[in-house]
Chain A
Amino acid sequence: MTPGGPRAGAEGRGAPRAVSTLALAPPVRDGPRWRDLDLVLVATTAALIAFGFVVLASATAGAGDPRTYLRARALHLGLGVVALALTARVGYHRLCALWRWLYLLTLALLVAVMVVGDVRLGAQRWINLGPLGAFQPSELAKVTLILTLARHLDGRRPPETLWGVAPYLLHVGILVLLIVQQPDMGTGMVLVAIAAGMLFLAGVRLRVLAGLAGLGLMGFPFLWSFLHDYQRRRLLVFLNPDIDPLGAGYALNQAKIAVGSGQLWGKGLFAGTQNLLRFIPEQHTDFIFTVVGEELGFVGAAVLLALFLVWLWRALAIAAAAPDRLGRLVAGGVAVMVLFHVVVNVGMTVGLMPITGIPLPFLSYGGSALLSLCTATGLLLNIGMGRRRLLR
């Protein structure tokens, strides 16, 4: 039942040397073979995107002109498919080889946001690309982090001390700092989660990771002083939603009402009153899961979660069967990224997590996010194709 579990276990204990031997063979440089495509992953991704398209149509049905959103979504999808195909074709090796350039480009874009970025909803996160819409460099930073950190970790012994982790902390820390100051606490947390997951998969000892977590907890009071008022209020409201039922607690309460009122079968597509009467702010982006819960009920929400679970199972399976450590780290990073997004996003709409503005993969409206997800999926497919070829 664990995605990729048995296979990963077999590799880890049963035949490590065999894999090493195989991996020692020079890689075949004739590019990916499309017939080795992981069709389950492709199908699941397509299903999630289709699901998201329908839910988005409902979430924006009450807006001035809902077709605006759907047209933009179609454009984003087109770009996403191109990005997915390109990444799958180019491959993670070549992209990782460009890691210095990628990292610098991302830094440059994040700095550029600080200078020329659009301010929306009180945050400066977007670079306006005219008719193409707005680009959010922090979304690119997630993929950049996965590729560059994988490259950084690859071929090195896992650090055994806290001091040994320092270079990796610096690697992720610079990106996180630039993003958190926008402010975009949510994406900052995603980067931290990706980094933690990749360090774990790279074999960093658990006590070192525990030490890092301890340091993080000790640093919390320090972090608290840097939080914006609204961020502190969100955290306090999460602990007690009743302290501010009309302010910060409003979205949380309304989200729970929407999801809860869906009951088993939901109120039906385009029939959710919480959705259509717009009781939930940002329901087409961060709170799109409330539309699923309200209109499709427990059954619809469970189907959606099942799709994510299948997607993650494929991602972890690909990681487990990756032809090399670099591929495993990249695939693992992608899996952690999507897992973190799903758990935090759904968790926040059902009151299990504080409200943080991070989107639900493939469903939330937003071009940059979809683009980075498609790129990440392309990486997975590419790693998966490499595996099949080598195992043959």
Chain B
Amino acid sequence: MAVRRPPEVDEDAGLRLVALGVVTVLLFVVLLGRLWQLQIIHGQEYLQQSEENRLRDLRIPAPRGVLYDRRGRALVSNRAAFTISVLSMELRDPDRVLPRLAQILGMSEAEIRERLRQGRSRPFEPVRLRRDAPPAVVAMVEENRLDLPGVIVEVEPVRHYLGGGLAAHAIGYLGEISQAELAQPAWRGYRMGDLIGKAGVERVYDRILRGRDGRLRVEVDSRGRALRVLRREPWIPGRSMVLTIDRDVQEAAEAGLAQEGKPGAVVALDVATGEVLALASFPAFDPNLFAAGISARDWQRISRDPAHPLLNRAVDTAYEPGSVFKVVTAAAALARGTATRATRIRCPGAFRLGGWVWRDLRAHGTVDFTTGVALSCNVFFYTLGHRTGGEAMSQMARALGLGERTEIDLPSETAGLIPDDAWKRRHVGEPWFPGDSVNMSIGQGWVNVTAVQVARMMAAIANGGTLVRPHLAREVLGSDGTAVQRFRPAPAGRVEMAPEALATLRDSLRAVVERGTGRRVRLPSVSAAGKTGSAENPRGKPHAWFAVYAPADRPTVAVAVVIEHGFRGGLAAAPIARRVLAAALRIPLPDEEAAPAPRLPAGARGGRP
């Protein structure tokens, strides 16, 4: 065999073997270098990764604190619910699993993929796809367990709003923390997927209510099957809170608004402390829809509703006050001495200034101070406004807390507007004319106020001049149910009025209820003092206002009611104020028995102990 070989063929064969040997050694050097890099240089990092591989830190969400009304009745608690989640690391075959899962959950595959993408920064945490899954869905996931590796079912506490939409705008609702919120310092320590308060008390007191999640450290195999629990750290439930809300008063307010059927708001305050007894905005929504993450369909329905149910009309919407502002005009005139109890003004049905004419509904003849207020005589107030001047009225309005935020403990609030000369020059480009004072005297022009401001103004008149700070939080409860923290915010200021002036104003407001435009608020056994308002607005019928406090001689509660396009405050708003006063003062209302059942959202009246 060797004989057939031509001798010259293999001359460089040895050289080629040497080359092969050199290549071999070089390749081994490369392999060894790579091993050095992986094991010695980056070994610690890989060791940590291998630990993360086998350890699962599962979060056990802590239940949020319960919210009680001022009488200890639960308004919001928690219930157990099933959450369907995906553990990304165990999702080996997404193309097979995700379509199946999407079908079961009724979600689009793209939506699931997007959520998984968002959760990729924490590959060992479950990505929650469907909170509060109905039993049928949970059963389907369990039945298809073998086809759905990486999909898990967790039990989580879910917020339960016992009254349905009751006090929805005060209490708020939950939602998953957004990327933008995560970036804010206020939400430091929160994590992707956390449910946080998105509105109302739930948002403002989120840190008190949320508690601390528990942890379970489990060793798992590559398929995510738990082998043993290495550490267990129990959750600490969120602290419960007592709100200032009185559920009876709240229900009365909402029933009244629902019966009227037009968008509007009610605020009832304790005149001495500023505690909010009721804060209602109509239409409302059911926060339970948000408790476990709102469905796209529900969100569309709520966010696209032309009535804007999510809008808090009690604090986030400023309206022209109309005649309710006459309280300010009267107070300013009395304080400045441009009018006294003895002032008498003739009302021919119109007020003339230069070439301009301001009309009244009718000619009231000569009216004294109390009657002028009681009948809401426009000419009477045009005259007072003209005499007193815009600057004095603006000052009094601000002293009574109008046109500025009340600092109520809600996440957003609008300031409204009290115009003055400087404001007009800046925004309109003209100086303040006497005609502007005439307009302002009856709450027209640029004046804009919120219901909570009006309620506080009435509280200030009722309590002798203290500008209280409205608030919804009353106490934080410790684990044994006793108060560990009480909320008593300091007053925002004082209105200085001579006692005689204050008495005149109060008597006049009492006359409004006893013989004037506010008679519909009269209660069987308690006197009240208030002021109606119909605020002309260019967009439709006037907004109806009623602001009142009671009892007139020893006031405890102040109420403001506004009904959009309600036309006459005495007709649309006063009956609601009456119901609220009755509930707050515990006065039975016999004629209420005939009232039609209030149209509240489903379940709104449930949960009464």
- Mark A residues whose CB is within 8 Å of B: 1-5, 8-13, 16-17, 20, 23-24, 27, 62, 93, 154-155, 157-158, 197, 200-201, 203, 245-247, 250, 254, 256-264, 273-274, 277-280, 293-294, 297-298, 301-302, 305, 308-309, 312-313, 316, 319-320, 323-326, 328, 332, 335-336, 339, 343, 346-347, 350-352
Contact = CB atoms under 8 A, between A and B. Distances in A.
A344 to B, nearest CB: 10
A260 B46 contact: yes
28 contacts: A1-B25, A4-B17, A8-B15, A13-B15, A17-B7, A154-B1, A201-B13, A246-B89, A256-B38, A258-B50, A260-B39, A260-B45, A260-B46, A261-B49, A263-B44, A274-B53, A274-B54, A277-B53, A293-B39, A298-B40, A316-B17, A323-B2, A325-B2, A325-B5, A332-B20, A339-B27, A347-B34, A352-B31
Contact of B9 (A3, A203, A302): A203
A201 B17 contact: yes
Contacts of A278: 221-223
B598 to A, nearest CB: 54
B487 interface: no
Contacts of A201: 13, 16-17, 20
Contact of B21 (A8, A23, A346): A8
A343 B13 contact: no
Contacts of B34: 347, 350-352
Interface of B: 1-7, 9-18, 20-22, 24-25, 27-28, 30-32, 34-36, 38-40, 42-47, 49-51, 53-54, 88-89, 91-94, 123, 219-223, 227
Contacts of B222: 254, 277-280
A261 B46 contact: yes
Contact of B39 (A17, A62, A262): A262
Contacts of A11: 13-14
Nearest to A153: B9
Contacts of B31: 305, 343, 346-347, 350, 352
A302 B35 contact: yes
Nearest to B43: A263
Given A8-B14, A325-B13, 19 more contacts: A4-B21, A12-B13, A20-B7, A24-B3, A155-B1, A155-B5, A157-B6, A203-B11, A246-B89, A254-B222, A277-B221, A278-B223, A293-B38, A301-B35, A302-B32, A305-B32, A328-B13, A350-B34, A351-B38
Contacts of A197: 20
Contacts of B15: 8-9, 12-13
A20 B7 CA distance: 7
Nearest to A6: B18
Contact of B16 (A20, A200, A260, A325): A200
Contacts of A13: 14-15
A201 B20 CA distance: 9
B176 to A, nearest CB: 23
A340 to B, nearest CB: 10
Contact of B17 (A16, A259, A320): A320
A154 B5 contact: yes
Given A24-B3, A203-B9, A279-B53, A316 B24 contact: yes
